[in-house]
């Protein structure tokens, strides 16, 4: 007992709380490729590695939360933070009821321990760490660490892809290829890295680099280094074969132009000129990539499939069936929701907004809207005070929110919750 109290006393230091919390938040948000890439590279059983990683972040996160709660027991939480906690209480009740009591299966490759280790050990605890410890974290240092972790994760992905495929060839752009397997094999390897993460991390990195080049001053060598990282991250985005990162990249890039105009008090006409030039350049790029030369690229082919489906009124992509199922399940139980997975394939619907109302109905939807409203208010305050680091952080949060339209899940996407809670509670200074 005395030894535990001694550890508590040493950790009960604002700077130390901030430093440890920052690393926990950064690794929960962007450390997944590090977690799965190392065992994939060395062909090690991933189960022990994954469980150890999640257990470590869980216990460190709980300890940090308890330290802050005892330290500030009389302080009230912000409305947005309360909404996050209430939402997760609702969702955990639904999760326990569906998975434990009703024994609903969550997809062919998932088991109970996997679902709960992500939901509680990563998403819920990650959100609470953001809620309770963000005030102790220096925003400038956080931005720097996030950028480095993202780059390290991308490099690890690249190295593992290179090793598993015997090099990086143009053929890799013609197929969507996961690292390892989602199903346990004879080596005990499970849950490796899905290709969607290539696009997520690549696009976020590219957007952050562009934001930095627009808003911060760098020496010539640093500008060249940033441009190299930009090219590398865009390449990794195309390697993912995902449609949503490219669409989101275009939208957020226009938003970054807007912030540049706003922060520098330039005229609206300048923003319109910037946007027009960008749209013109993108149109030229689209004409090139839609040619016969490149129409076999996985990313482009998936865009073509989606377009053909719309023209002929056919459902080619199973994701449309998941969305339809989620919507119908919400309509069948609109107040409290139906269940955590779709009845189409017993998987999450790859749209967190549909998943909210499918799982928790109107009640959960209202709480989620409150969270979104407070995100909007926080970003407005960062724009008003011209806090570039706060706006930089919002670029990540905006990507998270937009990517939720095309993918992710409430219980299986830790970086959603940890970044949202961190953003809402970081000081604007």
Name the residue with higher pLDDT: 389 or 271.
Answer: 389
Which tokens in the block code for residue 303? 């865009």
Name the residue with higher pLDDT: 389 or 196.
Answer: 389
Name the residue with higher pLDDT: 380 or 180.
Answer: 380
Is the predicted pLDDT of residue 3 greater than 80, yes or no?
Answer: no
Name the residue with higher pLDDT: 402 or 7.
Answer: 402
Predicted pLDDT at 73: 64
Is the predicted pLDDT of residue 294 greater than 50, yes or no?
Answer: no
Is the predicted pLDDT of residue 421 greater than 90, yes or no?
Answer: yes
Which tokens in the block code for residue 280? 């013109």
Predicted pLDDT at 78: 87
335, 362 contact by CB (below 8 A): yes
Predicted pLDDT at 428: 81
Predicted pLDDT at 74: 60
Residues 377 and 425: their CA atoms lie apart, in Å, by 12
Strand, coil or helix: 193: strand
Is the predicted pLDDT of residue 369 greater than 90, yes or no?
Answer: yes
What global pTM score does this model have?
0.84
Predicted pLDDT at 218: 87
Residues 181 and 45: their CA atoms lie apart, in Å, by 12
| Confidence band, pLDDT 50/70/90 cuts, at residue 291 | very low
Name the residue with higher pLDDT: 73 or 326.
Answer: 326
Interval 218-273: pLDDT, tens: 888 999 999 999 999 988 887 776 777 888 888 898 888 888 888 877 666 666 66
Q: What is the C-alpha end-to-end distance of the chain, expressed in Å? A: 39
Name the residue with higher pLDDT: 406 or 194.
Answer: 406
Q: What is the DSSP letter of 123?
A: I
Residue percentage of the chain with pLDDT more than 90: 30
The b-or-e profile of 97-117 (16+ CB within 10 A means b, else e) is ebbeeeeeebbeebeeebbbb
Predicted pLDDT at 355: 93
Range among 130-139, 202-211, 268-277, 365-374 rated most confident:
365-374
Is the predicted pLDDT of residue 423 greater than 90, yes or no?
Answer: yes
Range among 128-132, 251-255, 293-297, 309-313 rated most confident:
128-132
Which tokens in the block code for residue 393? 């952080």
- Residue 109 Cα to chain centre, angstroms: 21
Q: What is the DSSP letter of 96?
A: H
Residue percentage of the chain with pLDDT more than 70: 74
Give mean pLDDT, residues 279-308: 49
376, 213 contact by CB (below 8 A): no
Predicted pLDDT at 303: 42
Is the predicted pLDDT of residue 179 greater than 60, yes or no?
Answer: no
Residues 98 and 93: their CA atoms lie apart, in Å, by 9
DSSP string, 5-51: HHHHHHH--HHHHHHHHHHHHHHHHH-HHHHHHHHHHHT--HHHHHH
Strand-pairing partners, residue 179, are 193
Interval 191-213: pLDDT, tens: 456 667 778 888 999 999 999 98
Residues 189 and 42: their CA atoms lie apart, in Å, by 11
Give mean pLDDT, residues 358-365: 94
Predicted pLDDT at 8: 58
Which tokens in the block code for residue 36? 């799965």
Name the residue with higher pLDDT: 401 or 164.
Answer: 401
Number of domains forming the structure of the chain: 1
User: 44-53, 154-163, 286-295 — which is least confidently predicted?
Assistant: 286-295
Residues 344 and 325: their CA atoms lie apart, in Å, by 6
The range of the structural domain enclosing residue 158 comes to 2-425
Mean pLDDT taken over the chain: 79
User: 97-101, 136-140, 258-262 — which is least confidently predicted?
Assistant: 258-262
Among 248, 34, 330, 331, CA closest to 155: 34
């Amino acid at each position: 007992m005395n030894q535990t109290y001694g550890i508590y006393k040493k950790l009960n230091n604002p700077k130390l709380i901030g430093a440890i919390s920052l690393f926990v938040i950064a690794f929960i948000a962007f450390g997944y490729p590090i977690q799965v890439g190392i065992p994939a590279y060395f062909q090690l059983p991933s189960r022990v590695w994954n469980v150890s990683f999640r257990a470590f972040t869980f216990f460190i996160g709980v300890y940090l939360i308890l330290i802050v709660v005892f330290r500030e027991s009389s302080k009230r939480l912000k409305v947005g933070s309360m909404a996050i906690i209430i939402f997760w209480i609702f969702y955990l009740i639904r999760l326990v009821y569906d998975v434990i009591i009703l024994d609903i299966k969550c997809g062919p490759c998932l088991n109970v321990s996997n679902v709960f280790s992500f939901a509680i050990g990563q998403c819920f605890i990650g959100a609470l760490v953001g809620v309770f410890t963000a005030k102790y974290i220096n925003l400038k240092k956080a931005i720097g660490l996030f950028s480095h972790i993202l780059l390290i994760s991308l490099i690890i992905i690249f190295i593992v892809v290179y090793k598993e495929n015997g090099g990086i060839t143009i053929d890799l752009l013609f197929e969507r290829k996961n690292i390892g397997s989602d199903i346990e094999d004879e080596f005990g390897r499970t849950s490796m890295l899905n290709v969607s993460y290539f696009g997520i991390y690549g696009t976020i990195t590219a957007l952050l680099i562009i934001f930095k080049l627009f808003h911060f001053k760098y020496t010539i060598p640093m500008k060249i280094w940033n441009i190299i990282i930009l090219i590398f991250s865009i390449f990794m985005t195309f390697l993912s074969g995902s449609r949503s990162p490219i669409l989101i990249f275009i939208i957020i890039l226009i938003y970054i132009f807007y912030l540049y105009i706003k922060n520098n008090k330039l005229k609206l006409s300048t923003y319109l000129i910037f946007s027009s030039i960008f749209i013109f350049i993108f149109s030229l790029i689209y004409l090139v990539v839609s040619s016969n030369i490149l129409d076999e690229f996985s990313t482009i082919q998936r865009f073509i499939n989606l377009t053909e489906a719309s023209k002929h009124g056919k459902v080619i992509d199973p994701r449309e069936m998941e969305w339809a199922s989620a919507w119908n399940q919400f309509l069948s139980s609109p107040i409290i929701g139906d269940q955590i997975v779709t009845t189409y394939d017993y998987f999450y619907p790859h749209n967190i907004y549909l998943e909210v109302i499918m799982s928790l109905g109107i009640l959960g939807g209202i709480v989620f809207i409150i969270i979104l409203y407070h995100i909007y208010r926080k970003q407005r305050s960062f724009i008003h005070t011209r806090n570039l680091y706060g706006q930089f952080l919002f670029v990540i949060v905006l990507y998270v929110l937009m990517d939720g339209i095309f993918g992710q899940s409430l219980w299986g996407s830790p970086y959603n919750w940890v970044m949202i809670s961190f953003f809402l509670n970081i000081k604007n200074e």
